[in-house]
Structure 1
Amino acid sequence: MATAPVHMPELVRATSVRQVRLVCGVILFSYVISHFLNHALGNVSVDAMEVGVYYHTAFWQFLPVAIVFYAAALTHMGLGIYALYQRRQFRWRTIEPLQLVLGLSIPALVMAHVIGVRLGQTLYGHQKLYPQELYLFFVASNRIWTMTILLIIAWIHGCIGIFFWLRLKPFFTRAAPYLLAAAVLIPTLALLGVYQGGRSVAIEADDGEWRTHNLTRRQVGTVAEADTLDRITGGLTIGYVGLLGLALAARGVRALRERRGGMIALSYGNGKTVRVPKGLSVLEASLRHNVPHASVCGGRARCSTCRIRIIGDHGALPEPSQREAFVLTRVGATDPSIRLACQLRPTSDLSFFQLFTAHTLSASGQASTPARIGQERYLVSLFVDMRGSTQLAEKRLPFDTVFIVNRFLGAVSQAVVENGGQPNQFVGDGMLALFGLSADPQEACRQALKAAAGIATHIDELNELLSHDLRQPIRFGIGIHGGEVIIGDIGYRDHIVFTALGDAVNVAARLQDMTKTLACEAIVSEEVRRTAGLADDALPQQEVAIRGRDEPMAVRVVADARELAMLVDRGARVAA
């Protein structure tokens, strides 16, 4: 399926500091994985480690790759220090401040290794490889414990970052067991490889000939050169610790200025009011005062669940940042009174109410079943509605009407389930069905089209069964559209349902309504037709205006829904 090109202004608006840090972190984590796999070769032999490090360095020291790598390392470190300064609350979750502390400790721990290997090579031409490094770690000093701690900290820090990145992805639930296995096996094999390699070097180091060939001046340098590198390491370490201290001092200065700048009152619209210093975001203020506030992404501006609506004048509020404006535009929140609580930092008293209520403990103090957090993924929405149910109710007893509507919904649900879909919402005599929860987009589109054909067939059977009691056969309208939606648990306390929210769902509902004016049984969006692989001339095309959209939309009109099954089968055969 072709995708529209991403324009540079939109890409810039969609990019935040956290995303830059994520990209840099992924680059560094890729290096760590490569290094760990190289360490794991120590379980074979030290010679295997040397062969592996040749390919490792050939890639990572290739000039364009090296530039990207070192730029990512410096950027990631700088943004980590900035995060220490910027974050005002450390009570999101235990794992987040842990990630920050581990990340900030890595540069101090890795400094000696980087200076000894990379700067030693640049300044003095040292050729330290695994035999030399393992000798220094296991025989000449007791630095192996420092290096072991560094490896464990770097791996845990990277895994936490990868978890925060992938946990909202639709595939994460299926991939989680494999990712966990990799997260355990890779560092275990790496540490075992370092240990086995170190043992081999410690045994071989007793041989004078081995020392002659592996501990030359060109390989490990002189004592004076080592002292110089140690002084450089010490200076850079002190400088880094100084940067951390500067960030902490800047936090203190900011807190002092905020207190002197005065306090503001935040009113939650339910009688709850808190007083906080100027400069805190609304979400940070909620966390500081233990006010429940929905935030699926943890305040990273990757979702919109922390949205609030400002009560009263909103003209004096700070303008939305590029990232906040992008997220609000993405979810269609064009009302300037709607803001993201994690991004809005008011400078004066503010009244608002939350658009999404946070889940809290029940009265008994026990947490209810955890709600499935929102995920963004491609789904196909099928809306079906029973025609003439109002007239049907006027001429029948209420229980008779309910009986017929239930039989209609049962026939529709059967067709949906038979074709791999999930009946989701029942609204009166209509139903929303979702396809793609466990299928790729192409298969989901084909399932939805075949389900529409199945609905027509099952309704025919129902009309025949009820022919003695119906003056007119039951008619229906179907709208089908696919696209990115948010799926998750929606509701309150014991009334929570799993459903989908998004423009694609709304469009499917609009298309279902249009079947009345276009006198057809189903309307399929061009998106679904193309993704399913149906021929371009399989169904008549028409441009229609969709309420809430500025531009007309191309759709395919289906006079008889039964023909969709044949068209899907034909398209599948052509694709094969």
Structure 2
Amino acid sequence: MNHMTSRSLSRLAKSIQGIGVRQVRLGCGMVLYTYLVSHFLNHALGNISMDALATGVRYHTLFWQFLPVAITLYTAALVHSGLGIWALYQRRQFRWKAIEPLQLVLGLSIPALIIAHIVGVRLGQTLFGNEKLYPQELYSFWVARPYRIWLMSAVLIIAWVHGSIGLYFWLRMKAFFERAAPFLLAAAVLVPTLALLGFYQAGRSVVEDSASAQWRADNLSPQQIGTAAQQGTLEDIADYCLIGYLGLLGLVLLARGARALNERRGGMITLSYGNGRTVRVPKGLSVLEASLRNNVPHASVCGGRARCSTCRIRVIGDCGLLPAPSKRENFVLNRVGATDPSIRLACQLRPVEDLSFFQLFMPHTMSANAHASQPHRIGQERYLVSMFVDMRGSTNLAEHRLPFDTVFIVNRFLSAVSQAVVECGGQPNQFVGDGELALFGLHTSPKTACRQALKAAAMIAANIEELNQFLSHDLHEPIRFGIGIHGGEVIIGDIGYRDHMVFTALGDAVNVAARLQDMTKTLACETILSEEVRVTAGLPADGLPEQEVAIRGRTELMIVRYVTHAKTLTGLVEDPDAVVA
């Protein structure tokens, strides 16, 4: 129990450490997007009738004006808007993909477009007790001021596009995105379409009904839409708010210009890329921003959001003068096991002195069709189970045989391993000498991936046993092996240079699996799996012997389960109540 509590607290601490400005902005954005979906679905009821609209808005208002929910909504709106303005000031480079500055411009335009609506509805109710619902608002759009129809339609589309782009940036590296993308696209098209159609149908209904004097008496009373003086006051407030907001944006742009001048006066620094390329940039730019500003190719799957580590660089020389990594940068580097202080994220490092470095991942280009058909090839974050399998004694094997004989035996070993991996649903990924990295979970759930890896370990043992019998006349001693299995979040994608690209996984989970494989020599067993794999696979705690070990590169001890004979894992996976050694 203490171990479980300690691990839970450790995971919580790491999660909190990974929270930065972007995560706060994403959280606030999700609250606002949820409100937007609710509001759009309410609009869509206009395709049924005005009564349906009235019923929908009653429940919509009941939920969103519930005090804790209202506080959350308004806080999210203020924080998200403030962070958007901060992003305009902070961002020094606009040569990203076109969709990113588009999202920023759309987001900054939304407050200016909806100020009058918010003041007229919410502030009118707060100050004067006006009850403006759909009949009153639709009358204002379709009868009193028809030009506002296009303004409201633009607001709906802009807000939806802005939120959908943010949702795409968040989800595109998730494991389920490839499968969910068609459904998300359908929802992204249908929801605003139905909302706009509902807005149109309800507006037509109000235009027809408003010809009746009785309807006007029932829906356009001063209590509902306010007196002329109240409306004038609200319009003045809306104008002042709009002027204030536009003025704030103007101040931000002036501040950007002043900062640029100050940086140039403060001096320029030289960045050397290790391949002979150097650029001169003002102090304060991140290395990634400097690369993009000077058209230097630089890998960055997440677009400089510190959500991946593909922009990593290795600093050449003294690292003592570098700015300390932020919490977010430390979080990302720790997740991929990059504890060397010379390794930094280019999107986060803002040097103040001349800097020499080289990129760890060289950028490459792929066709748009390749990206569309295999989005995980350009980088994706997901849960995978990594299995390292290593052949023991291959060096001694080579000393007593001809090179071709040694290669033949190693290939037979790797074939036996790969056959088991494929039959159990995994994918052989990398071959390093006489070792192999296999991945499980590319197309399955974490639980299934863990169970597939355990079945594969048992099948590997059986296949190697058959291979030993086949080669018994040529081997002085049977082939032995070690297997390490661990699961966790990794980054998968194509890594390499030009025509030498390989699909692989990067991350702490892969490194731990390799360490566990090495540890089988110390514990004199064939397989070691992490407690993470056992729990995720749904195996009982007393099914496997437990050991607490130190993993190189980790400060905390780790609970692992070891199996002396991997072949016995078959019984445990098929019968969870079984106990193996």
The 3 A distance-change label for structure 1 pair 108 and 339 is same
Secondary structure at the residue paired with 1:206? coil
8 Å CA contact 1:310–1:353 kept in 2: the answer is yes
**Equivalent in the alignment of 2:33:** 29
Secondary structure at the residue paired with 1:5? helix
1:332-343 equivalence runs, <5 A:
332-343=337-348
Is 1:195 the counterpart of 2:200? The answer is yes
Matching residue's letter, 2:385: V
The 3 A distance-change label for structure 1 pair 24 and 215 is same
Secondary structure at the residue paired with 1:372? helix
Which shows bigger deviation, 273-282 or 468-477? 468-477
Matching residue's letter, 1:358: P
**Equivalent in the alignment of 2:468:** 463
Q: Distance in 1 between matches of 2:199 and 2:269?
A: 56
1:109-128 equivalence runs, <5 A:
109-128=113-132
Is 1:214 the counterpart of 2:219? The answer is yes
Is 1:303 the counterpart of 2:308? The answer is yes
Which shows bigger deviation, 308-317 or 215-224? 308-317
Is 1:380 the counterpart of 2:372? The answer is no
Is 1:317 the counterpart of 2:328? The answer is no
For the aligned residues, what is the CA RMSD?
A: 2.3
Identity rate, percent: 73
Kindly provide the CA deviation profile for residues 432-460 of structure 1, in whole angstroms up to 9, marking residues without a partner as x.
11112222222211111111111122222
Kindly provide the CA deviation profile for residues 143-173 of structure 1, in whole angstroms up to 9, marking residues without a partner as x.
1111001101110011111111111212111
- The counterpart of 2:255, out of the listed 222, 238, 250, is 250
Matching residue's letter, 1:139: V
The 3 A distance-change label for structure 1 pair 448 and 201 is same
Kindly provide the CA deviation profile for residues 483-513 of structure 1, in whole angstroms up to 9, marking residues without a partner as x.
2222221111111111122232222223223
Matching residue's letter, 1:425: Q
1:6 shift after superposition: 5.6
8 Å CA contact 1:544–1:555 kept in 2: the answer is yes
1:360 shift after superposition: 5.0
**Equivalent in the alignment of 1:129:** 133
1:404 shift after superposition: 2.5
Count of equivalent residues = 570
The 3 A distance-change label for structure 1 pair 83 and 217 is same
Secondary structure at the residue paired with 2:82? helix
1:100-249 equivalence runs, <5 A:
100-142=104-146, 143-249=148-254
Q: Distance in 1 between matches of 2:343 and 2:474?
A: 52
Matching residue's letter, 1:386: M
Is 1:563 the counterpart of 2:568? The answer is yes
- The counterpart of 1:438, out of the listed 443, 456, 477, is 443
Q: Normalising by the residue count of structure 1, what TM-score does the alignment of the two structures yield?
A: 0.93
Unaligned runs of 5+ in 1: none
Unaligned runs of 5+ in 2: none
Secondary structure at the residue paired with 1:537? helix
**Equivalent in the alignment of 2:85:** 81
1:518 shift after superposition: 3.2
The 3 A distance-change label for structure 1 pair 206 and 84 is same
Q: Distance in 2 between matches of 1:538 and 1:166?
A: 37
The 3 A distance-change label for structure 1 pair 183 and 125 is same
Matching residue's letter, 1:161: G
1:10 shift after superposition: 5.0
Q: Distance in 2 between matches of 1:86 and 1:306?
A: 19
Secondary structure at the residue paired with 1:512? helix
Divergent runs of 4+, >6 A: none
Secondary structure at the residue paired with 2:575? helix
Q: Distance in 2 between matches of 1:232 and 1:477?
A: 73
8 Å CA contact 2:387–2:486 kept in 1: the answer is yes
Secondary structure at the residue paired with 2:430? strand
Matching residue's letter, 1:294: A
8 Å CA contact 2:138–2:203 kept in 1: the answer is yes
Which shows bigger deviation, 467-476 or 31-40? 467-476
1:365-514 equivalence runs, <5 A:
372-514=377-519
8 Å CA contact 2:571–2:578 kept in 1: the answer is no
**Equivalent in the alignment of 2:52:** 48
Secondary structure at the residue paired with 2:576? helix
Q: Distance in 1 between matches of 2:401 and 2:271?
A: 55
Kindly provide the CA deviation profile for residues 523-550 of structure 1, in whole angstroms up to 9, marking residues without a partner as x.
2223322332323332333334433334
The 3 A distance-change label for structure 1 pair 269 and 149 is same
Q: Normalising by the residue count of structure 2, what TM-score does the alignment of the two structures yield?
A: 0.93
8 Å CA contact 2:173–2:382 kept in 1: the answer is no
1:60 shift after superposition: 0.8
Kindly provide the CA deviation profile for residues 89-129 of structure 1, in whole angstroms up to 9, marking residues without a partner as x.
11111111111111111111101111111111111111111
